[in-house]
Structure 1
Amino acid sequence: MATLFTKIIDGEIPGRFVWADDVCVAFGTIAPITDGHVLVVPRAEVAELTAAPDDVIAHLAVVARTIGAAVKAEWDAPRAALLVAGFEVPHLHLHVLPAWDEASLTFANARTDVPADALDAAAERVRSALRAAGHGDRVPRSLASPAL
């Protein structure tokens, strides 16, 4: 059975896509810890971090670093954070977000009441920052689709 993330990648469930390539996609989460909180997800259904092939992990890390630099710059944050937990969906995903301190990097701070237009606006800011950083070829044509 397809995971929630596979359904998002396949367009069965709406997503807010900021990155797409042959190996992975990235989209805004519906429960952000901070504005600019993005999930980097392999297209292949890999259950969790230790089950992923080395080349997939390496690729996800490079994409996470690239997106991290973009969100750090866009939100004028001192750091970009990377969290790997994955208990809520059995499909590997890396959480990338702008960060101001370690204390705030907890899923207890995830906001589930953010209006859809605010989630859209945050994703558009990430997309714009990625384009400005020279990664426009990996920014999907539409916020709603991973197609390039």
Structure 2
Amino acid sequence: MESIFSKIVAGDIPAHKVAETIDYLAFLDINPLTEGHLLVIPKKEVDYIFDLDSETYVGLMMFAQIVADGLKKAIPCERVGMTVIGLEVPHAHIHLIPIKTMDDMNFSRPKLKLSEERLTEIANAIRVHL
């Protein structure tokens, strides 16, 4: 079954992409916990992150590390938090979230509502640092 993330990879659904390789993609979450909240995915559609083959899993983590470095430079934060939940979309993905406190990673909090213009500004700011 094709996931929403696969449709983003195919270009069928627009996204605020910040980094892309042949195998991986990083884009802004449209319902972010904080400004700069990113989703990092393998382009290969696999539902559960621990079902990825070892090469794809390690590559995803290496790609996420590069993206997190650019994210930290672009968005004022104490750290970039990382979490894998994997229940909301059946496509392996990592959340990279600029955080100042532990509460910034609380998924039960209300999500931010950012304008398309602000999302574009944030994506551009991150891309400058990659």
TM over 0.5: yes
Q: Could you list the runs of 5+ residues in structure 1 that have no partner in the other structure? A: 131-148
Who is 1:41 aligned against? 41
Who is 2:53 aligned against? 53
Secondary structure of the structure 2 residue equivalent to 1:111: coil
Secondary structure of the structure 2 residue equivalent to 1:109: coil
CA-based RMSD of the aligned residues comes to 1.3
Superposition TM-score, scaled by structure 2 size: 0.93
Superposition TM-score, scaled by structure 1 size: 0.82
Q: Could you list the runs of 5+ residues in structure 2 that have no partner in the other structure? A: none
Question: Following TM superposition, by how much is the alpha carbon of 1:110 offset from its aligned partner in structure 2, in angstroms?
Answer: 5.2
| Equivalent residues of 1:72, 1:99 under 8 A apart | no
| Equivalent residues of 1:28, 1:123 under 8 A apart | yes
| Equivalent residues of 1:19, 1:25 under 8 A apart | yes
Question: Following TM superposition, by how much is the alpha carbon of 1:108 offset from its aligned partner in structure 2, in angstroms?
Answer: 2.3
Who is 2:86 aligned against? 86
Distance in 2 (CA, whole Å) between partners of 1:129 and 1:110 is 28
CA shift digits 1:88-141 (9 cap, x unpaired): 1000011112111212212223525211111111111111121xxxxxxxxxxx
Who is 2:66 aligned against? 66
Distance in 2 (CA, whole Å) between partners of 1:110 and 1:32 is 9
Distance in 2 (CA, whole Å) between partners of 1:45 and 1:58 is 16
Distance in 1 (CA, whole Å) between partners of 2:79 and 2:39 is 17
Q: Deviating runs (4+, > 4 A) in structure 1?
A: none
Letter in structure 1 aligned against 2:57:
I
Identity %: 29
Secondary structure of the structure 2 residue equivalent to 1:108: coil
Distance in 1 (CA, whole Å) between partners of 2:109 and 2:96 is 15
Who is 2:10 aligned against? 10
Distance in 1 (CA, whole Å) between partners of 2:15 and 2:25 is 11
